[in-house]
Chain A
Amino acid sequence: MEQNNQVIDNVIIKFAGDSGDGMQLTGTQFTNTAALFGNDLSTFPDFPAEIRAPQGTIPGVSGYQLHFGSVSIFTPGDECDVLVAMNAAALKANIRFLKKGGTIIANSDGFDHKNLRLANYADGANPILDGSLEGFRLVTIDVTKMTRAALAESGLGIKEIDRAKNMFVLGFLYWMYNRDMSATEKFLKEKFGKKPDIYDANLKVLRSGYNFGETSETAATRYTVNPAPMPAGVYRNIMGNQATAMGLIAASQKSGLDMFLGSYPITPATDILHELAKYKNFGVRTYQAEDEIAAICSAIGASFGGKLAVTTSSGPGIALKTEAMGLALMLELPLVIINVQRGGPSTGLPTKTEQSDLFQAIYGRNGEAPIPVIAARSAADCFETVFEACRLALEFMTPVIFLSDGYIANGSEPWRFPKADQLKEIEVNFTTENNNDGKYLPYKRDEKLSRPWAIPGTKGLEHRIGGLEKQHETGNISYDPENHEFMVKMRAAKVAKIADFVPNQTFDNGAEKGKLLILGWGSTYGPIKGAVIEARKKGYDVSHAQIRHLFPFPKNLGGIIKNFDQVLIPEMNSGQLLSIIRDKFLVDAIGLNKIKGMPFATGEILNKIEELLK
């Protein structure tokens, strides 16, 4: 049959199936292939909190959304062009995210009586047969049957054969999008090389899927998505948690300090622990503590001992660490505290994203306890931002909070990674000499208001530190009222002074003065960027600035804000940055808030821009 080949500039595919169907793997394989081909891309995995929710049900649906293109891509996309539905539940859960006229690739075997019942379809209803999907292009393939046929001679059991189903779908999509399969073939070799029968089976099914596209009349159109015009350089694909782990290792190398990670597993931060545990040959020591409190406390101990100390968690774990964060602040020891935010409060939505821990980060401690807070804006940006967090911690002798979230932690994008020698050294000088006429004053401050770091093992500098209020310079316990007020102000001044050493706020897009400024922080970057580009194309006077340093703010931020008639702050919370900006700069900023456990769609922000500027 004559096949039609169409060139398109971007496409959004959502892979959806039962959590046992291997959709995450299918998605990441397609992603890697697209990345290696040179497409720009952004991904968003969306999986249930349960490891294996009941098979065939809607809570058991696992999804992976990929947006790739020959144009710049900023988000995983709002509505998808193609929905792969491995069963009825996957279709039911995701059909509302499919564009009108979009393509559904349905595994007909997943629409049998049992699956339809589990997905709560009415008796007798079957969307792939009854015409209810009329507004879409429906491609029905009996993936199970084809996979079993392909492996009939393999000698494998039915269970093992069925596990290769996702490869059929992947092969079919590779055909549909004119992709080279060698990266996935190489991946299969590495993953199953030691089990030749499984390797052969997966490879065979992958190729069968591709050939099925070639020979069947199922889909008349193939699509070509050319490479994207990205800045010259060498790229790799990266997920946020990976980038965070690498940023930490880079900071360890650039500061010359071995890293110690005290951590307790928690979604969605655990992968940072997993990643770092692999890199012991970088001098990384990972310690899986008995609880969140022990995790941060062990890191404080390691910091006292002179290491680059880190603790990783998510909101509920950070809540438990709060008292120890106050201790680190009083001790004025460097410590990087990582919060990969998720939906709250309480256990909340562990696998969903949210930005609702900003207040917790900035205010959430007893007493006046200022701790610098910085946030990453994208998966790749986690690298640079956590590196900056380490720099601040070590150069200013302070705990620093690094905020990421579930969206960028698990999402991925192409990254033009730096060369090691392009990264700035982080200066660390352990004190080895007395600093006051033969006496060591642990809280004597330098021009940055930072204190010296004398580590155990240093002769003659034996000293005690603790959580009780301390006397200026000596660090001895002090209940003197004047001293307490002085020290509270000193700790605040020290953190405020960091603003002198961080870059000025810059604009991502638009003029420095105008009608509307969109101020964002964290992972709203992609959707805001996309929306602002669209709005400016339509002629709207709108600018975009994304704040990395949330506490203290860059020194010029107030000035920037006052140059605009209106300020819009989109956040995945009820308006936390909004409240802080209004408080600090007395500006009547407007919030755009989404609290659905999902990132903003570009369209949602664009609509708001149009509403404000019409």
Chain B
Amino acid sequence: METIQSPESPKLTSKDLVTDQEVRWCPGCGDYSILKQVQTVVPELDIPRENLVFISGIGCSSRFPYYMETYGMHSIHGRATAIASGLKGARPDLSVWIISGDGDSLSIGGNHFIHLLRRNFNVNLLMFNNEIYGLTKGQYSPTSEEGKVTKSTPMGSVDHPFNPIALALGSEGSFIARSMDRDPVHLKDMLRRANAHIGTSFVEIYQNCNVFNDGTFEIFTEKSNKKESTIYVENGKPLVFGQNADKGIKLDGFTPVIVNLTEGHSANDLWIHDEKDLVKAGILSRFFERPAEGSGHLPRPFGVFYENNRSCYEVGLNQQVEEAIAKKGKGNLDALLSGRETWEIK
């Protein structure tokens, strides 16, 4: 989302966004990096600090607003999206950021999540996905893999996980991106893109929970295998990945196929990423298998999967109020109270 800057406000710095509250995530938690990137990017956006609101639900990630020197609300489990909807509807002038986790957004708050995306309020939704319930000390989450052994699933989880990107696409999301805590440069870029988009900007952020689910994203984040297991998509650019940028993905009909660029294929044969292409975004969202060592699975995409522009709920909501006033005039309370038919008793 984007909010018009006010020219006279002095430039914010990251320090202006730090509160007097001690940050209380576990040492080594991925949330620290995300907080830092947000505090770095927000001052670049030229939004007056008083117009920024961070709203969270419940979970480790949801402590976030306490650490941002802006307006903020730490609400109840799963409902940050619903609260933010009302706030943005009532106050379209504000820059509203929702901070949520995989449990908060996709489990208890699943209903509000899909409806927020459908309505396309002009807000940013940062979903920290650590594939575990951290605050309650380690139960599987709706994004945990099948077979996951946790305290609530000692024999392994029999639940099938959500694919958050596919869910967001299915919910008519207008901006859908993925990033990770361990790649600050990319994360900052995604935050800027999210802010620039007018409509609900959904950013799934892979976040390591080093206490209850340590290393779950290692295959995407560690130098040794990152290049083989991830692909960074950019609009207008071919889908290239691999240790030496030696692999690419092309579409065989609707089927993505990995090709080796050193064996007769060139970048010209490859799938060119188009953020406006909903069908291709759907295919890209399905690059979701757990890459096993050397298995030849499709790499996990990072970047903006899809973006389109369509009307935002709060614009329509407030336009109707203006239209009604233009058509009927500002409401007259006496006329309302008397209604159309009255009688007098003398």
Contacts and interface: CB of A to CB of B under 8 A. Distances in A.
A498 interface: no
16 contacts: A36-B341, A38-B345, A233-B345, A234-B343, A235-B342, A235-B345, A280-B324, A281-B328, A285-B90, A285-B321, A302-B86, A302-B90, A302-B91, A306-B91, A464-B73, A467-B76
Given A250-B333, A294-B112, A419-B334, A457 B51 contact: yes
Nearest to B92: A305
B194 interface: no
Contacts of A307: 90
Given A280-B321, A307-B90, A462 B70 contact: yes
Contact of B83 (A260, A301, A326): A301
Interface in B74-90: 74-76, 79, 82-90
Interface in A469-513: 476-477
A418 B337 contact: yes
* Nearest 4 pairs of A and B residues by beta carbon: A298-B86, A466-B74, A301-B86, A282-B331
A290 B337 CA distance: 31
B78 to A, nearest CB: 8
B50 A301 contact: no
Interface of A: 32, 35-38, 183, 227, 230-238, 246, 249-250, 253, 258, 260, 262, 279-285, 287, 289-291, 293-294, 297-302, 304-307, 309, 323-324, 326-327, 331, 417-420, 456-468, 476-477
B71 A456 contact: yes
B76 A235 contact: no
A461 B51 CA distance: 11
Given A297-B75, A298-B85, A464 B65 contact: yes
Contact of B344 (A234, A306, A327): A234
Given A227-B345, A418-B337, 10 more contacts: A234-B345, A246-B336, A262-B86, A280-B324, A281-B330, A287-B86, A297-B76, A462-B71, A464-B19, A465-B73
A237 B85 CA distance: 37
Contacts of B336: 246, 249, 279, 282
Nearest to B114: A290
Interface in B310-346: 317-318, 320-321, 323-325, 327-331, 333-334, 336-339, 341-346
Contacts of A324: 76, 79
A151 B346 CA distance: 42
B182 interface: no
B273 interface: no
Contact of A305 (B90, B317, B318, B323): B90
B72 A464 contact: yes
A298 B69 contact: no
B338 A417 contact: yes
B140 interface: no
B55 interface: yes
Chain A, interface SS category: mixed
A458 B93 CA distance: 12
B84 A301 contact: yes
Contact of A461 (B50, B65, B88, B317): B50
Given A227-B345, A462-B71, A463-B71, A297 B111 contact: no
Contacts of A282: 330-331, 333, 336
A331 B338 CA distance: 37
Interface in B38-70: 48-53, 55, 58, 65-66, 68-70
B344 to A, nearest CB: 5
B236 to A, nearest CB: 36
Contacts of B166: none
Nearest to A299: B86
Contact of B79 (A238, A280, A293): A293
Interface string B223-256: 0000000000000000000000000000000000
Contacts of B76: 297, 323-324, 326-327, 467
B106 to A, nearest CB: 15
B115 interface: yes
Given A302-B89, A456-B71, A281 B324 contact: yes
B331 A281 contact: yes
B111 A468 contact: no
B341 A285 contact: no
B87 A301 contact: yes
Nearest to B50: A459
Given A36-B343, A458-B50, A294 B111 contact: yes
B89 A285 contact: yes
Contact of A230 (B55, B115, B345): B345
Contact of A298 (B21, B70, B89): B89
A536 to B, nearest CB: 25
A38 B21 CA distance: 66
B1 interface: no
B94 interface: yes
B75 A462 contact: no
A281 B85 CA distance: 22
Nearest to A39: B343
A459 B48 contact: yes
Given A246-B337, A464-B19, A35 B73 contact: no
A304 B87 contact: yes
Contacts of B328: 281
A63 to B, nearest CB: 24
Nearest to B9: A459
A297 B83 CA distance: 5
A324 B19 CA distance: 26
Given A458-B50, A467-B75, A301 B82 contact: yes
Nearest to A467: B76
Nearest to B332: A420
A254 to B, nearest CB: 8
Contacts of A237: 341
Nearest to A285: B317
B331 A417 contact: no
A602 to B, nearest CB: 24
B317 A287 contact: yes
B53 to A, nearest CB: 5
A301 B337 contact: no
Contact of A250 (B49, B85, B337): B337
A294 B85 contact: yes
A283 B321 contact: yes
Contacts of B66: 464, 466, 477
A236 B346 contact: no
A468 B337 CA distance: 42
- Scoring A260, A331, A456 by chain B CB atoms within 10 A of each residue's CB, the highest score goes to A456
